[in-house]
Structure 1
Amino acid sequence: MKALVTGGAGFIGSWVVAQLLQDGHEVWTLDNLSNGSEENLKSYVKSSGFKGFIRGDIKDNRILEELFANDFAVCYHLAASINVQDSIDDPQTTFENDVIGTFNVLEYCRNHGVKMVFMSTCMVYDKATGTKGIDENSPIKPASPYAGSKIAGENMVLSYFYAYGLPTVVIRPFNTYGPRQKASGEGGVVSIFTSKALKDETLNIYGSGEQTRDLLYVEDCARFVVAAGLSDSVNGQIINAGLGKDISINGLAYKICGDARQINHIAHIHPQSEIQKLLCNANKAKELLNWEPKVSLEDGLLRIRTWMSEQPDVIST
């Protein structure tokens, strides 16, 4: 199968590329490197299935025209603005990338008969209530322009399924973490905390720290993303993926550093976009894709700590 991964040099995108290559597919990648890095792809470029990295933007129709001449079977659309705070400070850029960019890619998928897998986010949801977790029918709440743009993208993607019969699927992974995730700025909380712990620095928590997250290891996420592109059973659907267990940010910080004295609470920089409880119900992914996470939180935290320990340039950022 021929596959295009937009945002393929990014954190999750590069792991999706790895999974596709492992499964024997041919892969093209497109990324403008605003969030990604060619370094994330360096171990794959010599693979016979790796057909090229194109540095370019999803808003550039000339590049998309050239790429889609390759007769793809599926487009994994992961390219996006992903920073919640940036979306609050500069909503226009997020809208242009996550809505207009998605529309551009959708049009080429429609014109070339290419299935689209649209990477959305758990940040579109309102907080979880009860113990069963957030399923695909749970209430949504666009608490940031990032979440609002993702919801707009989702609806456009699903409209192409209903209006044109284009095979599309919307996927909503929960909080994904693992090797290659940035440990600075608004990178992943696991990466930031692990980097701080390895340097014996203070772990700063925004707000009370009682907010919870459902943390999904990146290789489990990549298996889910790839599976969604290969199965007709999820066409026209919205599908969650998560560990199915949540942990408070306070509890996560202590798991990572093991010393309460190393943890500090500070004022929240965007309290209006905080989701107090994120807990995934991934029963639909299990039913339709036979997908379940394989990596426990404890194992995942050990893996990223080991990886970071071997990457001094990552820890130093």
Structure 2
Amino acid sequence: MNILLTGGAGFIGRWVLKRLLEDGHHVWVLDDLSNGREANLAEFREHPGLKSFVKGSILNESVLSDLFIANKFDICYHLGASINVQDSIDDPRTTFNNDTVGTFYILEQCRRHDVKVVFMSTCMVYDRCMDEKGIDEAHPIKPASPYAGAKIAAENMVLSYYHAYGLPTVVIRPFNTYGPFQKTGGEGGVVAIFIKNKLAGKTLNIYGEGTQTRDLLYVEDCARFVAEAGYSDKVNGEIVNAGLGRDIAINDLALMIAGDASRIAHVEHIHPQSEIQKLLCDSSKAGRLLGWKPEVTLEEGIRRTEEWIRATNLI
């Protein structure tokens, strides 16, 4: 198939690109590099399936129009977004424009050219999990940050195009994804930051009490889920979760990575109002509709991520 992948130079986007190329598709990547890195695409530069990398914004309608007119896309995997919660609190306009308005521009092109949309949302739209059954797609949502609010608004637009126009669309909500190629700085994920600090001999700082839990999904499992959501008509018009199905307190995660409680410290939370105390995924719908289930354990995923950070000298 011919596929447009927005945000393809980002952390998850890079792995989705790898998966799509392995599956034999032709892929065009659109990324403005505000969060992604062109280096993430380096190993695919000579791959015959990577047709083009376009440095451009989803907010530039002329760039989008040219892409859609020139290439008959079958699917658009829309991962391009602002993803930082604190940034959305500090500067909600940028997040709203990128995540909501940008998604609208993508939808309009896909409607005109009859292209399926796979929209990458987030587990951050959910209210806290109250039990051990986990969060399914019917769980209450709570826009505790402008990031979550922008994603919910975009989700509603994506689903409206399914109901109003019959456009095949799907909203996917992966839980906290980690793995190789994730940034290890302040804007990275908790696993990458903890591993980097451990290897650099630094303290692992935890926001708040550290009792908050996360369901951590290894990035290759996530990429497989993203790809499969595009391939299957069974999820059209649906919202679908993906997660490990196991949550871990940040305190326990830090200890697992550091192996030494004296290396761990607690600091004041930078955005306590948008903290979700418990995140645990019920991804049974993905299993039922896509035959998807996670394959990489947390321990194995952390081992692979640490190995990559060591090998790339990101300390």
Instruction: Give the TM-score band, short-chain normalised.
Output: over 0.9
Question: Equivalent residue for 1:309?
Answer: 310
Return the letter of the residue paired with 1:15: W
Q: Is 1:9–2:9 an aligned residue pair?
A: yes
Question: Equivalent residue for 1:147?
Answer: 148
Return the letter of the residue paired with 1:236: G
1:46-67 Cα deviation digits (max 9, x unpaired)? 1111101000000001110111
Runs of 5+ in structure 2 lacking a partner?
A: none
Aligned counterparts of 1:89 and 1:53: Cα–Cα separation in 2: 31
Question: Equivalent residue for 2:228?
Answer: 227
1:71-103 Cα deviation digits (max 9, x unpaired)? 100000000000000000000000000010000
Aligned counterparts of 1:218 and 1:68: Cα–Cα separation in 2: 28
Residue 125 of structure 1, CA deviation: 0.2
Aligned counterparts of 2:66 and 2:255: Cα–Cα separation in 1: 49
Residue 185 of structure 1, CA deviation: 1.3
Question: Equivalent residue for 1:59?
Answer: 59
Give the RMSD, CA atoms, in angstroms. Answer: 0.5
Alignment of 1:118-267 (within 5 A): 118-267=119-268
Question: Equivalent residue for 1:272?
Answer: 273
Return the letter of the residue paired with 2:299: E
1:108-151 Cα deviation digits (max 9, x unpaired)? 00000000000000000000011110000000000000000000
1:244-267 Cα deviation digits (max 9, x unpaired)? 000000000000010000000000
Q: Is 1:48–2:53 an aligned residue pair?
A: no
Residue 186 of structure 1, CA deviation: 2.8
TM-score (norm. length: structure 1): 0.99
Aligned counterparts of 1:25 and 1:45: Cα–Cα separation in 2: 15
TM-score (norm. length: structure 2): 0.99
Aligned counterparts of 1:217 and 1:17: Cα–Cα separation in 2: 16
Alignment of 1:89-104 (within 5 A): 89-104=90-105
1:226-277 Cα deviation digits (max 9, x unpaired)? 0000000000000000000000000000000100000000000000000000
Identical positions, percent: 65
Aligned counterparts of 2:48 and 2:268: Cα–Cα separation in 1: 50
Question: Equivalent residue for 1:290?
Answer: 291
1:22-41 Cα deviation digits (max 9, x unpaired)? 00011000000000001001
Residue 245 of structure 2 aligns to a residue whose secondary structure is: coil
Question: Equivalent residue for 2:22?
Answer: 22
Instruction: Give runs of ≥4 in structure 1 deviating > 6 Å.
Output: none
Aligned counterparts of 1:57 and 1:235: Cα–Cα separation in 2: 26
Residue 80 of structure 1 aligns to a residue whose secondary structure is: coil
Return the letter of the residue paired with 1:204: N
Aligned counterparts of 2:290 and 2:53: Cα–Cα separation in 1: 29
Residue 5 of structure 2 aligns to a residue whose secondary structure is: strand
Residue 14 of structure 2 aligns to a residue whose secondary structure is: helix
Question: Equivalent residue for 2:38?
Answer: 38
Aligned counterparts of 2:44 and 2:294: Cα–Cα separation in 1: 24
Question: Equivalent residue for 1:105?
Answer: 106
Residue 43 of structure 1 aligns to a residue whose secondary structure is: helix
Residue 41 of structure 1 aligns to a residue whose secondary structure is: helix
Residue 303 of structure 1 aligns to a residue whose secondary structure is: helix
Residue 43 of structure 2 aligns to a residue whose secondary structure is: coil
Residue 215 of structure 1 aligns to a residue whose secondary structure is: strand
Residue 287 of structure 1, CA deviation: 0.2
Return the letter of the residue paired with 2:28: W
Aligned counterparts of 1:85 and 1:240: Cα–Cα separation in 2: 23
